[in-house]
Amino acid sequence: MDNRFVAIMLGPPGAGKGTQAVRVAEHYQVPHISTGDILRDNVARETELGLKAHSFMEGGDLVPDELIIELIADRIGHDDAENGFLLDGFPRTLAQAVSLEDLLREREMPIDVVALLDVEDEEIVRRISSRFLCRECKRDANAGQGTISDVCPHCGGELYQREDDKAETVQNRLEVYRRQTAPLVEYYEGKNLLLKVDGFGRVDEISNRLFKSLERELDPEAG
């Protein structure tokens, strides 16, 4: 492997992708690119993209592929993405996966690995309903641990619950995942890029499992 690191974090909503993605990106020293975070930031700033994306996000539906592909093409062209990146929440459709390949081919940056966090539906609903995010550091203050304080335990920032984490919307997000995103599992399996990791347990346990699997996959001689 060269010293670039291009990886995708795949998994249903609430699987803990975001929390783990932050850790993996830090470890491999690449930017963590979350399309959900970028979209939420655009919605908050009421940009043209934010105004277009808002209603889809609110209902738990996917934002149209063209908008997302444009967003990603721009983001991976930034200087900080030269040595790779970790994609979180993208691709979410086959069309997005194919467009990503075209973009990466132009940059001669092959995908190293697609990590799938595997979690049961019941656990997903439980985790999403107890999710509280920090406005400052963007981390999940609770991360499925079942305890919550008024401020972020990491940085003291203000906590909030996502608009699309309401029970009605969560069901739709799960259905959208099954219908539109789950086919990517087979797609990346077929390309021999899929690394399935059990996403059940405490955050640190999952991270340990994930890091060990990544090391084994990326540098088989080390372990």
Among the options 4, 52, 162, 196, which is catalytic? 162
State yes or no: is 162 an active-site residue.
Answer: yes
**Which residues form the interface with ligand AMP (CB under 6 A)?**
13, 35-36, 39, 56-57, 60-63, 68, 89-90, 92, 96, 164, 173
- Based on CB atoms, which residue is closest to ligand AMP, 57 or 197? 57
Among the options 40, 127, 131, 138, which is catalytic? 131
CB of 48 to ligand AMP, least distance (A): 16
By the 10 Å C-beta count (0-12 exposed, 13-18 middle, 19+ buried), 173 is classed as buried
State yes or no: is 92 an active-site residue.
Answer: yes
CB of 221 to ligand AMP, least distance (A): 34
- Based on CB atoms, which residue is closest to ligand AMP, 36 or 199? 36
CB of 111 to ligand AMP, least distance (A): 15
CB of 122 to ligand AMP, least distance (A): 19
Among the options 75, 138, 139, 173, which is catalytic? 173
State yes or no: is 139 an active-site residue.
Answer: no
CB of 1 to ligand AMP, least distance (A): 26
- Based on CB atoms, which residue is closest to ligand AMP, 73 or 156? 73
Three-class DSSP labels, the chain: CCCCEEEEEECCCCCCHHHHHHHHHHHHCCCEEEHHHHHHHHHHCCCHHHHHHHHHHHCCCCCCHHHHHHHHHHHCCCHHHCCEEEEECCCCCHHHHHHHHHHHHHCCCCCCEEEEEECCHHHHHHHHHCCCEECCCCCECCCCCCCCCCECCCCCCEEECCHHHCHHHHHHHHHHHHHHHCHHHHHHHHCCCEEEEECCCCHHHHHHHHHHHHHHHHCHHHC
Among the options 17, 127, 138, 139, which is catalytic? 17
Separation CA 223–CA 219 (nearest Å): 8
Report which residue's Cβ sits closest to ligand AMP. 36
Among the options 75, 92, 127, 138, which is catalytic? 92
State yes or no: is 107 an active-site residue.
Answer: no
Separation CA 108–CA 123 (nearest Å): 39
User: Which residues participate in catalysis according to the annotation?
Assistant: 17, 92, 131, 162, 173
